[in-house]
Chain A
Amino acid sequence: MIKRSFFGLVKPKLQYEIIDEAQAEPVSIKTSKQIMLYIDQSVDPSLENAGENAGNVLLKTGDQVKTGQKIAMTDDAADYLLSSQSGQISKISTFVGIMGKNYTSVTIDVDGESSQNVDEGFKNVCQAPSLENAREFLTGLPGQPDFNVFFDSEKPVKAIVVLGVDDDLLSTTNQYFVKNNIIAIKTGVDLLCKITGISNAILIVPQHLEQVAGSSGAVVKTVDSEYPSAHPELIMRHILASEDGESKSKSGIAFFSAEAVCAIGAAYNTGKLFLEKLVTFVSKDGNKQLVSVPIGTPLQDILNEFNETLNDGDRVILGGPMQGISVFSADYPVLPDTDTIIIQDKNQITERSDIACINCGECVRVCPANIQVNQLIRFLEAGQYEEAADQNDLFSCIECGFCSYVCESRIPVFQHIKLAKHTLESMKAAEESNA
């Protein structure tokens, strides 16, 4: 954990992790006995045949699935994952994640090495790359590429931005792909340009990788090594705004992680879906290790690999230290967007408090979005979310977590902000459905 420096005159600085020359090669985790996939939706398993709006239920307990097969609960569902192993579905249940988000959890008992079968669905279409079959088959790739932005007719996409930087601290996943696999990124970018018809592709890399990235032939832009400059929102404003005066809103730009672009390129070139996620594993003693792991592998298998034991009160974090989520159990699987896994010991955890804001202003001076957090938090603590949104720039927040990191009163500011946004959004959704 990075503590405040002795001299506090300057703003706190958090440096992004830099992938070094001598970085050890990723460790491969052997195939688990079981994988779990959390699909972003909610179908009540007890109502499998009921729902009027839902399409036909595709999967049920006992079904055999093949490697690379789409795992979606209904045939018209937009969200799906790709099974990284062949096996038999042993359990389907619902799971409520952070901010009340519903997931369907599908547990697959993995078959032995000999009986692994590859699903042919994608192989049949990979000769003719198109946006439609990319959306149909590739959203479940590592890095979770989102093709839906290309289908929004109101906001035509003007540029594709490939993030060769990692959004949160401690992660080196995307840097690893830029450093070691720039050819694959180039292939992937060319392919994306071809299927979308967009010629404007920009590769964002940290400064120390500018040379490597230059060899890809794509337009390369660099970002600072200080958190949160690699945040997509800030990249868009600071780097892309100078290029195109109009592109000041998030619409019109499609973001892809370097990992996803590599996987897309490889998928169309070989017809095989690459379903291993590259994850930075941070153990309790702070050691960092890149791990290549099949999507859906439960965390416990990775912990076993590193001989890491969990005790009561420890914290398991999926994602970086600033924006990640902590989970209730080590059975949680690695998902396509999991870049980092952090294990914190009980005594490394700083407790939050409910002491009032003392108005020291650290958060205001550190906020990359120039929000008056000291005013905002007073409204949020009182539950006056609408005032917070109207008068105190709630929705300008880019969710970097810096305010909570520096708070002297140790108020969970970021949590208040997320809760306020979530509450307002669900109120709005409720109003719209009633109208």
Chain B
Amino acid sequence: MHSTLKLTVSHAPFWHNGSSISSKSRNILLASLLAVIPGCYQYGSAAVGVVTLSIASAILWELLINFISRRPISVGDGNAALIGMMFAMMLPATTPWWAVVTGTFFAVVIGKEIFGGIGANPFNPAVLAMTILMLSWGDLFDFNAALLNYQFDFNSVYPLVLSKSFGAPAVESLPLMDLLQGKQIGGIGSTFGIGLILGGVYLMLRGVIRWEISISFLAGIFAAALCFNILNPELYAGPGFHLLTGYTLIGAFFLATEDSSSPVNFIPMLIYGLLGGALTVLIRNIGTHIDGVLYAILIINLVNPIVDKIRPKALGKGV
């Protein structure tokens, strides 16, 4: 009776499937490297600098908030690093250091920590920070100006600017295969389509991101772009172009799928994705902004709590 043996006593269940937040972050970071490494290869050491600074500053901002708010140190779960990575993937390689650090401040502190940390953010932190920066210092993110000094062996005009300013015929000179292979200018980690798709498929197969969101997001873009294209082929580029340019692929696989700001039920996930895709094309084709992905994702983040009310009845409730 009076044994000194101290057994572990806890509540059921006594098994766990082994998943954790840090392994999830690690997987997404790994998958994003498929797009980031070719990006760094294309833009050189400047891009490496932006990516590393972004990740490092995001982690430091979170650490700082941990200290100020006297909460347990949470950088170990990898979420801050992930936010930094996502943010860097959208940036042009020539972004000045202060803009990167300001951006990760908005992402980690304003986007996530002031809402209560991981799981409590209503918007995707990286997207929120990116839109704040784009509205504040628009010139920095004009890809044509930002990447002016680079010499490429392909047409170095931001494809979405071409389609916006000169209509569909202007982008016919851009073969879709080239766009897929990253022969276009844009964010460090958002142009190499093959890498983004491979990374996205890996994440979907592993169950790290919800395939319903990614697929329906792409389907929404495809359907909406196709409608525009059929209505006026002179003015609006085809769905293939919209799928492979701007932030579409990174948005579908990495941004829209952020856990906290996306729905969890099947039908809401489909609505969420479709809505995001359709909004993207609407903003691109008839809005004033050049790329609509970020604004579309912010809007569907807002809609998320409402659409997630569409859900099956719980056991024993209703008929």
A residues lining the B interface (CB < 8 Å):
1-4, 6-10, 12, 169, 233, 237, 248, 310-317, 319, 321-331, 342, 344, 346, 349-350, 352, 355-362, 364-365, 368-372, 374, 393, 395-396, 398, 401-402, 404-410, 412, 414-415, 418
In the complex, which of the residues A9, A312, A319, A402 contacts B207, with contact meaning CB atoms closer than 8 Å?
A9
Q: State the Cβ distance, B29 to closest chain A Cβ, in Å.
A: 16
CB-CB under 8 A from B266, the residues of chain A are 365
B7 and A328: CB pair below 8 A?
yes
A315 and B315: CB pair below 8 A?
no
Task: Return 24 A-B CB contacts under 8 Å, by A number.
Answer: A2-B15, A4-B18, A8-B206, A9-B204, A9-B207, A233-B315, A311-B5, A317-B14, A321-B15, A322-B14, A323-B13, A326-B8, A329-B5, A344-B8, A355-B77, A359-B262, A361-B264, A361-B265, A370-B311, A393-B314, A406-B19, A408-B20, A412-B10, A415-B11
| A396-B116 in contact given A324-B12, A326-B7 (Cβ < 8 Å) | no
| Residue in B14, B77, B204, B205 with the greatest tally of chain A CB atoms within 10 Å | B14
- Nearest to B203 among chain A residues (CB) is A8
CB-CB under 8 A from B138, the residues of chain A are none
A401 and B314: CB pair below 8 A?
no
Q: State the Cβ distance, B212 to closest chain A Cβ, in Å.
A: 10
A331 and B1: CB pair below 8 A?
yes
A326 and B15: CB pair below 8 A?
no
B315 and A237: CB pair below 8 A?
yes
- Please classify the interface of chain A as helix (H, G, I), strand (E, B), loop, or mixed, using the class held by over half of its residues: loop
A346 and B16: CB pair below 8 A?
no
Within residues 203 to 260 of chain B, which ones have a CB less than 8 A from any CB in chain A?
Answer: 204-208, 210-211, 259-260
Q: State the Cβ distance, A32 to closest chain B Cβ, in Å.
A: 15
Taking A248-B316, A359-B262 as given, write out 14 further A-B residue pairs in contact, using a Cβ cutoff of 8 Å, ordered by the A residue number. A12-B17, A169-B15, A311-B5, A321-B15, A322-B15, A323-B12, A355-B118, A358-B118, A359-B264, A360-B259, A361-B264, A393-B317, A395-B316, A412-B10
CB-CB under 8 A from A393, the residues of chain B are 314-315, 317
CB-CB under 8 A from B114, the residues of chain A are none
A415–B119 alpha-carbon span in the complex (Å): 20
Q: State the Cβ distance, A312 to closest chain B Cβ, in Å.
A: 5
CB-CB under 8 A from A404, the residues of chain B are 11-13, 16
CB-CB under 8 A from A316, the residues of chain B are 7
> What is the interface residue range for chain B against chain A?
35 or more
- Please classify the interface of chain B as helix (H, G, I), strand (E, B), loop, or mixed, using the class held by over half of its residues: loop
CB-CB under 8 A from A310, the residues of chain B are 5, 7
| A361-B210 in contact given A315-B7, A324-B12 (Cβ < 8 Å) | yes
A315 and B15: CB pair below 8 A?
no
Q: State the Cβ distance, B31 to closest chain A Cβ, in Å.
A: 13
User: Is B70 interfacial (CB 8 A cutoff)?
Assistant: no
A10–B10 alpha-carbon span in the complex (Å): 29
B207 and A8: CB pair below 8 A?
yes
CB-CB under 8 A from A10, the residues of chain B are 207
User: Is B120 interfacial (CB 8 A cutoff)?
Assistant: yes
Within residues 102 to 139 of chain B, which ones have a CB less than 8 A from any CB in chain A?
Answer: 116-120
A321–B15 alpha-carbon span in the complex (Å): 6
In the complex, which of the residues B11, B116, B206, B264 contacts A364, with contact meaning CB atoms closer than 8 Å?
B264
- Nearest to A300 among chain B residues (CB) is B3
- Report, nearest first, the 9 A-B pairs whose CB atoms are least far apart: A8-B207, A361-B264, A415-B11, A369-B315, A401-B13, A393-B314, A350-B16, A4-B17, A358-B119
A414 and B7: CB pair below 8 A?
no
A152–B263 alpha-carbon span in the complex (Å): 45
B265 and A364: CB pair below 8 A?
yes
A325 and B12: CB pair below 8 A?
yes
User: Is B24 interfacial (CB 8 A cutoff)?
Assistant: yes
| A405-B15 in contact given A310-B5, A393-B317, A396-B316 (Cβ < 8 Å) | yes
A368–B314 alpha-carbon span in the complex (Å): 9
A407–B15 alpha-carbon span in the complex (Å): 11
A154–B18 alpha-carbon span in the complex (Å): 46
Q: State the Cβ distance, B210 to closest chain A Cβ, in Å.
A: 7
| A356-B20 in contact given A7-B205, A312-B6 (Cβ < 8 Å) | no
| A9-B211 in contact given A370-B315, A405-B15 (Cβ < 8 Å) | yes
CB-CB under 8 A from B77, the residues of chain A are 355
User: Is B9 interfacial (CB 8 A cutoff)?
Assistant: yes
- Nearest to A358 among chain B residues (CB) is B119
- Nearest to A401 among chain B residues (CB) is B13
A355 and B18: CB pair below 8 A?
no
- Nearest to A170 among chain B residues (CB) is B15
| A350-B6 in contact given A8-B207, A355-B118 (Cβ < 8 Å) | no
A406–B264 alpha-carbon span in the complex (Å): 14
CB-CB under 8 A from B312, the residues of chain A are 370
Within residues 296 to 319 of chain B, which ones have a CB less than 8 A from any CB in chain A?
Answer: 311-317
CB-CB under 8 A from B314, the residues of chain A are 369-372, 393, 396
A395–B316 alpha-carbon span in the complex (Å): 9
CB-CB under 8 A from A322, the residues of chain B are 12-15
A393–B311 alpha-carbon span in the complex (Å): 12
User: Is B21 interfacial (CB 8 A cutoff)?
Assistant: yes
